[in-house]
Chain A
Amino acid sequence: MSFTTPYFTLPKFVYFKPKNIEEALGMLKQHKGRAKVMAGGIMLVNLMKERQIFPEYVIDLKNIDELKKINVTENGIEIGSMVTAIELQNSKLIKEKCPALAKAASFMGDRTLQHTVTIGGNISVGMPSTDGLPALMSMDSVLEVRSSEGKRFLPSSELVLGIGRTSLKEDEIITKIIVPNDEKVMGTYLKFINASEVAIATVAVTVHHEKKKLALSVGAIAPRPYYFDNSSLQWNWEGSVAENIKRASDVVYKAVQPMSDAVASAEYRKEMSKILTARALKEVFGGA
């Protein structure tokens, strides 16, 4: 996504606004390969404006109420894929149970766009600097993906394959994000930007106290976010947090192999991954 083309207008397309998931999936099947699903539309409209994609049909999910709900079920917390960034930030449940996601939502686009940005759309874009995915990965969330053939469950860490590429098939829609419903969850999301709105590095952390479980995801530095848990970070629940943070930051520093691009060099991203990891962990463990 380069935002370099001069156009104001969009290429011609036919617009659908189905009322339920089944109708949307039916349309997607009927126009397979020639249709694109629109969630918030931020990326889709820009890709069309940039003349990078030319869908003949656009299937807008905005009228499908069942995708806009946040429910607690026996599976955990189910977040509809059309829940907006503003709703994520304002939901008491999300703030309490998914703090990394609530914080990440505050970085999606700008404040105005956050009324439009959806969590499903945000992660389906597959761009390295996407805010939602590292947060979802740190929460070990699973995506419910549906097509007219049925549904499947995809770990959030397996969604993105490369820059702009996901494991979603052409007739599939992310319908829900399912997060474990744990007690006493702590977490945060840090985003480091400078001289560009595209992130240099992002870090999401989620800690489940009682389960003695910690997961951390580093985004924006490579095509796919990196995932670490307490065992790969060599986290010692009995040891001093300061030592743990230092060790974890070193682990992250040694493990990541960032990319160089117009936003930052690999060397700088590697260093910032370390600093951001330490800052995120420090914040979660109360060092502010």
Chain B
Amino acid sequence: MTYKNVGKEVPQADSWLKVTGTLKYAFDINFPGTLYAKLVTSKLPHAKIKSIDISEALKVKGVINVATGKDFPYRLGLYLSDRDVLAVDKVRWIGHPVAAVIADSLEAAEEAAEKVKVEYEPLEPVLTVERALEKDAPLIHEKLGEYRVFPGFHPVPGTNIANVFELKHGDVENALKEEDTIIIEETYRLPQISHVTMETQNVLAWWRFDDYVEVWTSIQSPFATRYLMADALKLPVNRIIIHAPPAGGGFGLKAGLGWEPLVALLSKFAGRKPVKLVLSRAEQMTSAPARDGFIAKVKAGFKRDGRFVAYKAEFYLDAGAYADYTINVARTAGYSADGAYDIPNVHVTSYAVYTNKIPTTAMRGFGHPENHWALELTLDRAASVLGIDPVEIRRKNLLKPGESVRATGERVREDEGDPQKVLSVLAQAIDLNHVERASEPWKIRAKGIALLVKAPSQPPNAGASAVVKLNEDGTIDVLTGNGSMGQGTPTSLAILAAEAFGVPLEKIKINQLEMVSTDTNPYTWQTVGSRGLFSDGIALLRAIEDAKNQIKETASRVFKVPVDDVEISEGYAYSKTHPWIRKEIREFAMGYTYPDGTTVGSPVIGRGSYAPILNTFLDANGHGSNTVFHTYGGTGVELEIDLLTGEVKVLRAVQVYDVGKAIDPLLVKGQMDGGFIMGLGSALFEQLKFGEDGKVLNPNLITYYVPHFEDMTASMESYIIETPQKDGPLGARGVGEHVMVAVAPAIANAIFRATGVKINELPITAEKLWKAIKEQKPELIDKALKSFFEEGIKEVEQI
């Protein structure tokens, strides 16, 4: 199949606006008379609110009103309604919003926020998962049993367990007991990390006098936000209008329900004036959600020949104070714990556990950075014990498309991708067994790999829809619900539209680049899970088919040929049998008008929609069919460890992904590079640090470090494999999140392979690695010091 637009390297459609600094984000939208909101947040991790005194705050000039939890008795949440709008009766973490000041200037709002006096009665804080699970641990959510729960989730009322998910496949206990089974037993951990979107969360809301609520907000999922808001505030869905301009980064932070209900209620509270809330970086990193902390207790069984026969794991996600999204992160980590491997016996129990720390939510690839950290490290540990090459142990155990069955009981589809090819390309590109000498004798060069597979984690009915409009001049407007947050999907959708319609790309305008509004754009469930191109893409192709059929219908009347004789290509409708009979499609845009004014047909507007076929919730054993496509990939790294300092410098990265069809290879490569750097940050630097009281100690980008230019890997190679997904749009599958998942495991595996030093917890900071080497392999440091002080300075001459 040759394509005119698909497969070409096209920059993102909004690039010009971005590089000229003129793209309008939610942050940029302001109305005359807009009021400013400021949060007053808890200073204690767990406490009863005895009283809130707002009298001094109200005296500040410019203050309109101060709201507290009692003013807004609504419950919020995506999969579990465990959130309050502002703290009601008690606070659950340091940073929990207790009150909100509304004023006519930010200065007044901030001054007044300092004057709100809250009196607390401290409760025992629960700051670790271990403590939270103890029988006598204080309850963080006493009313867990009364919350609304989405089907398929299982909170345990009377405990701090927000959800428990179990996956059972085969007979793990027996397989682990077998005499010739070699056991690898490890505990792995991941810290809470921040999404660090460049644009912090911000919302402008206006509760209008006609009781319609308009919201401009930096989010990924306008329709989910609208529905959840309507549900919480007991309003008809179409009373709420969400406008979502391009978001300055999403990464899952902006996927669930955010601050929209609070700001809308504040607008009503302030006399129905528009109110704006913008989070500072410190607020973003203390009062808004982060990624969960993670503990995995793993027992894995292998046979001498490398066969992976049993995988028993307990996952504990530190969900923090709210788990309305994280319960699905825990479920996802659980059901996809077997990764890209065919393991006959699996038993995984995955818990989302409340603690009195910052709440958590979705983050890029959720569940998978967690479970692949455990799984991919375990494979390399096993490879080392068994004396097998890391590539070979994976090759032996990879899922076989068309044959294998996942632990969920789901059959691996024939057209799911080619995991063996992914591994082969990766292995060849990284060449694990050829490691060059390090640049200095006190450094070690190392190579490592990790694989992954991931499907969107979504409800069985996660649908999408699209509308296509043909304009008078033959240009085409495309509308979908797909939010733009830098991922590039709108550009890919525009390319799909141009291809399917048979017009040049510049004829297509994809409206959501400027804004997705729930009033004008068609529905899509959420822009998450790397589902956009697949789900919205299928809907879009159907809409284009519909529009083309309308053109064909009219053309057949004008051409006086049967409908099935009409074809559309290169911007023309023509008769297949009499190709000299043709007209530009623009002539049919508003129906075809004869010279005397007689018109046949009517304005062309195509509609298409999509929902997964035969997806189900998972049953009590974690069995069922809950995925629409899987994407396989892998990361290889070549790095150097400075044994004097423990610093790791990744010199070369190889990323291999089977994307089915690269609609825009430039965007695929862009995702691979961006995902690699994000993965690198989480591997080497990033961690929210908590004080003894659970307070976030580093809510700023000085002490919470993300990669800078000087930390970038000099050589990043990306390999695109295209094994078509039969039901994907032109064979494509999603890849947006995947690209960061295998990075940290590949780095840890490289370090382990070169030094034998095990690092089971991220981030691998210089000090952590230096200490681990000192503990596990002190001779490496001794040797490095010796060579540094003897050879390293030998060439220095006295001047």
Residues of A in contact with B (beta carbons under 8 Å apart): 2-9, 11, 51, 192, 194-198, 200, 209, 237-242, 245-246, 249, 262-265, 268, 271-272, 275, 278, 282, 285-287
Contacts of A286 in B (CB 8 A): 796-797, 799
Contacts of A268 in B (CB 8 A): 767, 770-771
A11 and B39 alpha carbons, distance in the complex (Å): 17
Contacts of B699 in A (CB 8 A): 3-4
Query: Is A51 touching B703 in the complex (CB atoms < 8 A)?
Result: no
| Known A194-B766, A241-B796, A241-B798: A51·B114 in contact at CB below 8 Å | yes
| Known A6-B282, A8-B280, A195-B765: A287·B796 in contact at CB below 8 Å | yes
Interface residue range, chain B: 35 or more
Query: Is B705 touching A195 in the complex (CB atoms < 8 A)?
Result: yes
Query: Is B684 touching A272 in the complex (CB atoms < 8 A)?
Result: no
Query: Among residues 569 to 600 in chain B, which have CB atoms less than 8 Å away from a CB atom of chain A?
Result: none
A209 and B799 alpha carbons, distance in the complex (Å): 8
Query: Is B793 touching A278 in the complex (CB atoms < 8 A)?
Result: yes
Query: Is B792 touching A282 in the complex (CB atoms < 8 A)?
Result: yes
Contacts of A245 in B (CB 8 A): 789, 793, 796
Query: Is B765 touching A242 in the complex (CB atoms < 8 A)?
Result: no
Contacts of B38 in A (CB 8 A): 6
Query: Is B110 touching A242 in the complex (CB atoms < 8 A)?
Result: no
Closest A residue, CB atoms, query B768: A195
A205 and B114 alpha carbons, distance in the complex (Å): 46
Closest A residue, CB atoms, query B791: A242
Contacts of A195 in B (CB 8 A): 684-687, 705, 763, 765-766
Query: Is A4 touching B796 in the complex (CB atoms < 8 A)?
Result: no
A282 and B283 alpha carbons, distance in the complex (Å): 44
A11 and B687 alpha carbons, distance in the complex (Å): 31
- Which one of A6, A192, A198, A265 contacts B41 once the chains associate, using CB atoms below 8 Å? A6
Closest B residue, CB atoms, query A272: B645
- Interface check B106, CB cutoff 8 A: yes
A285 and B705 alpha carbons, distance in the complex (Å): 33
Contacts of A237 in B (CB 8 A): 798
A114 and B767 alpha carbons, distance in the complex (Å): 29
Interface string of B695-724 (1 = CB under 8 A from A): 011111111010000000000000000000
Closest B residue, CB atoms, query A242: B793
- Which one of B280, B686, B697, B770 contacts A7 once the chains associate, using CB atoms below 8 Å? B280
Contacts of A272 in B (CB 8 A): 645
Residues of B in contact with A (beta carbons under 8 Å apart): 38-39, 41, 106-107, 110-111, 114, 278-280, 282-283, 286-287, 644-645, 647, 684-687, 689, 696-703, 705, 763, 765-767, 770-771, 788-790, 792-799
Query: Is B794 touching A242 in the complex (CB atoms < 8 A)?
Result: yes
Closest A residue, CB atoms, query B108: A9
Contacts of B698 in A (CB 8 A): 196, 262
Closest A residue, CB atoms, query B701: A197
A111 and B771 alpha carbons, distance in the complex (Å): 33
A249 and B788 alpha carbons, distance in the complex (Å): 12
Contacts of B696 in A (CB 8 A): 4
Closest A residue, CB atoms, query B771: A268
A240 and B799 alpha carbons, distance in the complex (Å): 10
State the Cβ distance, A146 to closest chain B Cβ, in Å. 32
Query: Is B645 touching A9 in the complex (CB atoms < 8 A)?
Result: no
A241 and B684 alpha carbons, distance in the complex (Å): 35
Contacts of A263 in B (CB 8 A): 703
> Which of B686, B789, B792, B797 neighbours the largest number of chain A CB atoms within 10 Å of its CB?
B789
Closest B residue, CB atoms, query A50: B282
A191 and B455 alpha carbons, distance in the complex (Å): 44
| Known A3-B702, A9-B110, A268-B771: A240·B798 in contact at CB below 8 Å | yes
Contacts of A285 in B (CB 8 A): 796-799
Query: Is A287 touching B703 in the complex (CB atoms < 8 A)?
Result: no
A239 and B699 alpha carbons, distance in the complex (Å): 50
A271 and B645 alpha carbons, distance in the complex (Å): 8
State the Cβ distance, B148 to closest chain A Cβ, in Å. 31
Query: Is A6 touching B797 in the complex (CB atoms < 8 A)?
Result: no
Query: Is A198 touching B703 in the complex (CB atoms < 8 A)?
Result: yes
Additional pairs, 14, CB under 8 Å, beyond known A6-B279, A262-B689, A286-B796: A4-B697, A6-B282, A8-B278, A192-B645, A195-B766, A196-B698, A240-B798, A242-B789, A245-B796, A275-B644, A278-B792, A282-B792, A285-B797, A287-B796
Contacts of A264 in B (CB 8 A): 767
| Known A3-B703, A7-B110: A241·B767 in contact at CB below 8 Å | no
Query: Is A241 touching B793 in the complex (CB atoms < 8 A)?
Result: yes
State the Cβ distance, A155 to closest chain B Cβ, in Å. 28
Query: Is A249 touching B645 in the complex (CB atoms < 8 A)?
Result: no
Contacts of A51 in B (CB 8 A): 114
Closest A residue, CB atoms, query B784: A275
Contacts of B793 in A (CB 8 A): 241-242, 245-246, 278, 282, 287
Contacts of A8 in B (CB 8 A): 106, 110, 278, 280
Contacts of B701 in A (CB 8 A): 197
Contacts of A249 in B (CB 8 A): 789
Query: Is A194 touching B767 in the complex (CB atoms < 8 A)?
Result: yes
A241 and B700 alpha carbons, distance in the complex (Å): 43
Query: Is B705 touching A196 in the complex (CB atoms < 8 A)?
Result: yes
A246 and B787 alpha carbons, distance in the complex (Å): 12
A209 and B647 alpha carbons, distance in the complex (Å): 33
The 4 closest A-B pairs by CB, nearest first: A3-B700, A287-B796, A194-B766, A195-B685
A45 and B529 alpha carbons, distance in the complex (Å): 41
Closest A residue, CB atoms, query B798: A241
Query: Is B765 touching A194 in the complex (CB atoms < 8 A)?
Result: yes
- Which one of A6, A7, A196, A282 contacts B703 once the chains associate, using CB atoms below 8 Å? A196
Query: Is B106 touching A246 in the complex (CB atoms < 8 A)?
Result: no
Query: Is A6 touching B114 in the complex (CB atoms < 8 A)?
Result: no
| Known A9-B106, A196-B703, A197-B703: A282·B796 in contact at CB below 8 Å | yes
Contacts of A209 in B (CB 8 A): 799
Closest A residue, CB atoms, query B763: A195
A4 and B766 alpha carbons, distance in the complex (Å): 25
State the Cβ distance, B638 to closest chain A Cβ, in Å. 20
State the Cβ distance, B182 to closest chain A Cβ, in Å. 35
A165 and B699 alpha carbons, distance in the complex (Å): 24
Closest B residue, CB atoms, query A267: B771
State the Cβ distance, B588 to closest chain A Cβ, in Å. 54
A82 and B239 alpha carbons, distance in the complex (Å): 58
Contacts of B703 in A (CB 8 A): 3, 196-198, 262-263
A196 and B702 alpha carbons, distance in the complex (Å): 6
A7 and B789 alpha carbons, distance in the complex (Å): 49
State the Cβ distance, A253 to closest chain B Cβ, in Å. 11
> Which of B287, B705, B788, B798 neighbours the largest number of chain A CB atoms within 10 Å of its CB?
B798
> Which of B280, B685, B703 neighbours the largest number of chain A CB atoms within 10 Å of its CB?
B703
Contacts of A239 in B (CB 8 A): 798
Query: Is B767 touching A197 in the complex (CB atoms < 8 A)?
Result: no
